[in-house]
Structure 1
Amino acid sequence: MSLARAESRRLFKRRFTKFLMVGVLLVLGAVAVGVFFSNEKVTDTQIAQAKADADRDYRSNLEQAARDKERCIAAQGTPEAANWGTDCENLYTPTPEDFNYVWYLPPSFEFRAEFPDMISVFAVVLAAAAFLIGASFVGAEWNSGGMMNLLLWRPQRLRVLGTKLAVFLGWLISGTLLLAAVWTGLFRLIAEFRGTTDKLTSGVWQSLGLMGLRGLALVVVGGALGFALASLGRHTGMALGALIGIGAVQIGVYVMAQLAKLAYPDAYLVPLWLFAWLYKEFVVEDYASCDFSSTAGCEYAQFTMTWQTAGTAMAALVVVIVGAAMWTMRKRDIT
């Protein structure tokens, strides 16, 4: 039996892998069911009623604004003038744009606008599962002594670890692509029956496809890091401990950045970089700065976190951690 085939069997025979795969399906299924039942198909009658309600509220607020203006003018020269000010002509007057009829409609799943969020949920759930499965896959081998036995059969350290990683990532990519196709089809059906599929142009599908590829990359990175960290520590707990440690360090760095009044403290948070990776960018503001404008008020300095920077950092991290795992596999004693 080839090494790759043996590793494939070992991966899928592990109970932890099976339990986690079932858990992933249950979580994703719960999300899809929740979206289905929390949305509905909007009818022409509901649209007409929403327009009527929006127009009614607009007229009511317009009448109230007119009464307020009259009271403001009447109050001039009296003690009540303090409640209105002196510029009665520029009191707020509602416009039709302030009462968009869409806001009066029941929730409806718009595939074009809302499916990107479903891609994000899908990618994060699978990346977390990939990290745990990858860590357990190699960590259990080290902890149980299986790795030492395997090296007696195949005394080629880098080939053994590299094949194990390649098999895991190969199945991870295949499974993610299959699930992604099902996920997309499922939400397309939800949009058909509980929402709308309007404005799905080729450009929209291209944008969704590119976001899906970035989500796939996130899943692969999660799996590779979990595998490599567990191999470095020769125990599944090493990967889990590193994950907890990163979380603790993140909190500490964020707090220290705020105390030190550094610009853009939010830019030190890894989750926001992951958001920028999936959605192409994320803008953070420096609330300690204030460029005052007489027309726009206080304008804060901004920093744009881009998917290119996030992707470069993820790639560098994977190269360093996986490279370190391979180096220690070659240099350290197998005991």
Structure 2
Amino acid sequence: MSAVSTPPQADRPTVPAGRFSGLLRAEFQRFTARRFIRLLLLVAALVWVGALVVGLLNYSSPSPERLAAAEQQRQEQIEASIEGRADCLEQVLPEEGLTPEQLCGPPVRESDFSIDWFIDPPPFSFAENGAMGAASVGLLAAALAFLLGATFVGAEWSSRSMTNLLFWEPRRSRVLGAKAAVVAAAAVVLGVVAQVAWLVMAGTWQALVGDGRELPDGFWSEVVAPRAAACCWPCSPG
């Protein structure tokens, strides 16, 4: 009985993997084409406009008359605090191991009483709120970037388009690397845009309903340096 020889089967054809730059381009197009991502960015823009309007309605630049009245109330409050501390020092008997500052509080200083406390509605102070506002906007931008990234990757699995993508590029590490690169770049751009939007908003408030104060020394280094480091973190090696 002779053995029947069969020709060896040809290897299964594999889908040629494209260049990584082409994969990045495809992932970028997928990212920008997502309707939900566009909707989130539109909502963020509307929130910015709403916050700008709310600030213009809730802040107010004080007139000279309001400043004079606020300064008078401030001086009255300072004098009342000084008299109250003096009465405390005269009436309260010192206890063992306690200093006058612990019993009646530290000496009253005029710098402890901001004139903004006596102005209603208060003016916006870029010098006092600039750094804190930039930090808050940075946190909101980070949360939005996380939501965009989760939406982008999750939509690939829910729509089963990830399977088709792996047929085109079977190496998962390249696919995941391209997605991570696109999300990281989007996070950096979003962070920069958010900080610019905050500066525009704060500058508008300061110009229209601000207190007119000059910025202190080192203000911009305090505002810009931490935000620049945070924006560069997704792209830093390691």
Q: Distance in 2 between matches of 1:63 and 1:205?
A: 40
TM-score by length of 1: 0.52
> How many pairs align?
207
**Alignment deviations for residues 164-196 of structure 1 (CA, whole Å, 9 cap, x no partner):** 221222233223323322321221121111113
Could you tell me which residue of structure 2 aligns to residue 104 of structure 1? Answer: 118
Structure 1 pair 141–109 and aligned structure 2 pair: CA distance change class (3 A): same
Whether 1:12 aligns to 2:32 is yes
Q: Distance in 2 between matches of 1:15 and 1:153?
A: 24
Q: Is the 8 A contact 2:145 2:186 kept in 1?
A: no
Structure 1 pair 175–64 and aligned structure 2 pair: CA distance change class (3 A): closer
**Alignment deviations for residues 4-56 of structure 1 (CA, whole Å, 9 cap, x no partner):** 22211211211221122122223333333333322111233222212222334
Q: Which of 38, 51, 59 is matched with 1:39 structurally? A: 59
| Unpaired stretches in structure 2, ≥5 consecutive residues | 1-17, 95-99
Q: Distance in 2 between matches of 1:190 and 1:133?
A: 29
Could you tell me which residue of structure 1 aligns to residue 152 of structure 2? Answer: 137
Please tell me the residue identity of whatever aligns with 1:134.
G
| Unpaired stretches in structure 1, ≥5 consecutive residues | 73-83, 222-314, 320-335
Displacement of 1:59 in angstroms is 5.0
Q: Is the 8 A contact 1:42 1:108 kept in 2?
A: yes
Q: Is the 8 A contact 2:142 2:191 kept in 1?
A: no
Whichever structure has more strand as a proportion of its residues is 1
Aligned Cα root-mean-square deviation (Å): 3.4
Q: Which of 118, 142, 163 is matched with 2:178 structurally? A: 163
Q: Distance in 2 between matches of 1:162 and 1:8?
A: 12
Q: Is the 8 A contact 1:119 1:215 kept in 2?
A: no
Displacement of 1:92 in angstroms is 6.1
Q: Distance in 2 between matches of 1:6 and 1:119?
A: 33
Displacement of 1:62 in angstroms is 6.6
Q: Distance in 2 between matches of 1:99 and 1:162?
A: 53
Structure 1 pair 112–25 and aligned structure 2 pair: CA distance change class (3 A): same
Could you tell me which residue of structure 1 aligns to residue 23 of structure 2? Answer: 3
Whether 1:198 aligns to 2:213 is yes
**Alignment deviations for residues 234-287 of structure 1 (CA, whole Å, 9 cap, x no partner):** xxxxxxxxxxxxxxxxxxxxxxxxxxxxxxxxxxxxxxxxxxxxxxxxxxxxxx
Could you tell me which residue of structure 1 aligns to residue 50 of structure 2? Answer: 30
**Larger C-alpha radius of gyration, 1 or 2?**
2
Q: Distance in 2 between matches of 1:168 and 1:95?
A: 53
Please tell me the residue identity of whatever aligns with 1:150.
L
